[in-house]
């Protein structure tokens, strides 16, 4: 029988869409029906299992799936030993301490002897003990932000991405104690054949992730300005330069980091570049 790799992905929630979009952008298609918990790709040896995110580390550990996409927070909270094979850099969030308005927060020490509600008792107790703070943990599985109002906790430690939910519940973010984003995890004892498939998958993921960080740019430039271009573009080895019909001008093509793009754009314009075209890159290798 053909070797296939099994991947566990969150069925529906904050990780689902981005996880599936990442896999699709690797040229791996599949049909997903929300009533069915499994799917298979006809174009790549990958089988999907759609489950709750909390269960992903255990499923991978048990070999129900070979790999999974999960928030680092869920992995750390589970305390299950898995290989983190890629940091996927989406679904970023932070675990923060939040306190009611008027609470004088001066650092974790302010929580000494207090009741802290959280859904992440393992992560929180590790951080508290590292900082030598003793507090009583109130473990709840959801709606952590109402625990102060209903009187069962003095402060909370919960995942935040914007902070709006906290504010709506009369809480203030006091300190970020831990950061998380999605990771791809793999079982530590995967057979060689499956590792090969994982290697192919990771190669595609890397190409997609690298491409997302870059822009392809194309522009015309007076030929005498060419020597100044490489100092603007920076790290690029050598841009491709093509002659134009008007021999005093050239066309230049190169790739720049997305985060440096606007700086480069402004400098190129100042140098006299014209007809600047900017394109997204679908896939690339270094
Ligand atoms: P499930 O039904 O699968 O158990 P869930 O309600 O536990 O879903 P989601 O709210 O979908 O989980 O969050 C999944 C993951 O998304 C979190 O574990 C975390 O890694 C990440 N995440 C990103 N931003 C946030 C946020 N603001 N609040 C909570 N989780 C976030
Ligand atoms: Zn969950």
Asked if domains 5-91+181-211 and 93-180 share a fold, the reply is yes
In the chain, what are the domain boundaries?
5-91+181-211, 93-180, 214-280
Q: Which atom of ligand 1 has the smallest separation from the CA of 14? A: 11
CA 13 / ligand 2 centre spacing (Å): 8
What DSSP string runs through the chain? ----EEEEEESSSTTHHHHHHHHHTTT------TT-SEEE-SSSSEEEEEE-GGGHHHHHHHTSSSEEEEEHHHHHHHT---EEEEE---S-EEEEEEEETT----SGGGGTT-EEEES-HHHHHHHHHHTT---EEEE-SS-GGGTTTTTS-SEEEEEESSSHHHHHTTEEEEEEEEEE-EEEEE-SS--HHHHHHHHHHHHHHHHHHHHHTEEEEEEEEEGGGHHHHHHHHTT-S--EEEE-SSTTEEEEEEEEEGGGHHHHHHHHHHHT-EEEEEEE-S----
Please tell me which residue, 235 or 122, carries the higher pLDDT value. Answer: 122
pLDDT, tens only, 93-125: 999 999 999 999 999 999 999 999 999 999 999
Main-chain phi, psi angles of 68, to 5 degrees: -160, 160
pLDDT band with cut points at 50, 70 and 90 for residue 1? low
Nearest CA to ligand 1 atom 17: 71
Q: In a mutational test of the pocket of ligand 1, which residue from 16, 18, 37, 53 has the highest number of ligand atoms less than 8 Å from its CB?
A: 53
Q: Is 53 in the pocket of ligand 1 (CB under 6 A)?
A: yes
Main-chain phi, psi angles of 129, to 5 degrees: -70, -35
Tell me which fold the domain 5-91+181-211 belongs to: D-Maltodextrin-Binding Protein; domain 2 (3.40.190)
In this predicted structure, what is the pLDDT of residue 106?
97
State mean pLDDT over 166-194. Answer: 95
Provide the CATH number for the domain formed by 93-180 in this structure: 3.40.190.10
The percentage of residues in the chain with a pLDDT greater than 90, rounded to a whole number, is: 86
In this predicted structure, what is the pLDDT of residue 220?
97
In this predicted structure, what is the pLDDT of residue 187?
96
pLDDT, tens only, 82-101: 999 999 999 999 999 999 99
- Which class is 214-280 in CATH? alpha beta
In this predicted structure, what is the pLDDT of residue 235?
52
Q: Is 71 in the pocket of ligand 1 (CB under 6 A)?
A: yes
CA 55 / ligand 2 centre spacing (Å): 8
State mean pLDDT over 189-207. Answer: 96
Given CA atoms 271, 274, 280, 282 in this order, what sign does their dihedral have? negative
């Amino acid at each position: 029988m053909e070797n296939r790799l099994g991947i566990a992905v969150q069925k529906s929630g904050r990780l689902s869409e981005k996880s599936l979009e990442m896999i699709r952008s690797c040229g791996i298609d599949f049909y997903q029906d929300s009533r069915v918990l499994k799917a298979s790709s006809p174009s790549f040896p990958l089988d999907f299992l759609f489950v709750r995110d909390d269960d992903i580390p255990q499923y991978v550990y048990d070999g129900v799936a070979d790999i999974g996409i999960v928030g680092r927070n869920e992995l750390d909270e589970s305390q299950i030993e898995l290989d983190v094979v890629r940091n996927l850099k989406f679904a970023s969030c932070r675990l923060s301490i939040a306190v009611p308005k008027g609470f004088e927060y001066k650092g974790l020490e302010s929580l000494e002897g207090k009741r802290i509600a959280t859904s992440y008792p393992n992560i929180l107790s590790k951080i508290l003990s590292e900082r030598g703070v003793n507090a009583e943990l109130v473990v709840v599985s959801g709606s952590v932000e109402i625990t102060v109002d209903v009187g069962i906790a003095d402060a909370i430690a919960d995942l935040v991405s914007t902070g709006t939910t906290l504010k709506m519940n009369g809480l203030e973010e006091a300190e970020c104690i831990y950061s998380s984003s999605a990771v791809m995890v793999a079982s530590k004892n995967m057979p060689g054949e499956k590792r090969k498939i994982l290697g192919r998958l990771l190669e595609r993921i890397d190409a997609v992730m690298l491409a997302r960080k870059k822009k392809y740019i194309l522009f015309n430039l007076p030929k005498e300005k060419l020597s100044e271009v490489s100092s603007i573009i920076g790290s690029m080895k050598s841009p491709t330069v093509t002659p134009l019909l008007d021999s005093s001008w050239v066309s230049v093509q190169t790739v720049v980091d997305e985060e440096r793009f606007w700086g480069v754009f402004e400098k190129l314009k100042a140098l006299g570049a014209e007809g600047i075209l900017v394109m997204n890159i679908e896939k690339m290798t270094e």
